[in-house]
Amino acid sequence: MSERLLLADYTEKGERGPVIGNFHFWTSVASGFAVILGGQGRGGSDVLDDPCLGCRLANNRLEAHIVYETEAVTCLLDHAPLNEGHILILPKQHYADVDDLDESTAIEIMLTSAKLAKALKDIFRPDGITMIQNGGIFNDLTHYHMHIFPRYKEDGFAWQEPADSSNAAGRLAETGEMLREAIGLLR
């Protein structure tokens, strides 16, 4: 499958047509017929019927400004960028959190993030690059995605550290031991 087999110009204004093999045909007001590769979304549901916004974006079912795409991931400009060039990396298969990712998808996301970082540096000449991923209730898309965006000294974006009310800094040795034990059980 080529990197651009899926059509990025699809909008949800069309009607679902026949399914032939692994392909779904859609009529589209903008482009006549659009061929979209079928697949499985969360819970084994057909990705085309999935209510997940991330699945629809990653599989080119909604209009987006796509900057890069492979068989496993779609990279698009954030609709509310923190800085110009703010990109989201979304896997095409549904995953909710980073610990749900399979190894090959996780590797693809990291290799893609390095490629995007180089492009952002070449184009925008930032002071740095930030990559961030929010999980659990902080994942407003409910579909795993990584943010990558150029940063500048006075851009106003900040990491705000909460007060250490639980004495986390005083418990580093204990916390480290608990984590090493838990990680050891995961092997």
**pLDDT for residue 27:** 36
Q: What is the CATH number of domain 15-153?
A: 3.30.428.10
Residue 42: pLDDT above 50? no
Residue 3: pLDDT above 90? no
Encoding tokens for residue 162?
A: 């909460």
Tell me the sheet residues that pair with 46: 40
**pLDDT for residue 161:** 82
- Tally Cβ neighbours within 10 Å of residue 48: 18
| Domain boundaries defined on the chain | 15-153
- CB 64 within 8 Å of CB 153: no
pTM for this predicted structure = 0.71
Residue 160 or residue 23, greater confidence: 160
Rounded-to-integer distance, Cα 90 and Cα 116, Å: 13
The DSSP symbol for 40 reads B
**82 pLDDT tier (thresholds 50, 70, 90):** very high
Q: Provide mean pLDDT across the span 176-186.
A: 93
Residue 29: pLDDT above 50? no
**pLDDT for residue 49:** 59
**86 pLDDT tier (thresholds 50, 70, 90):** very high
3-class DSSP state for residue 69?
A: strand
Which residues have CB under 8 Å from 169's CB, separation 6+? none
**pLDDT for residue 166:** 83
Residue 4: pLDDT above 50? no
Q: Provide mean pLDDT across the span 124-130.
A: 98
**73 pLDDT tier (thresholds 50, 70, 90):** very high
Rounded-to-integer distance, Cα 77 and Cα 84, Å: 9
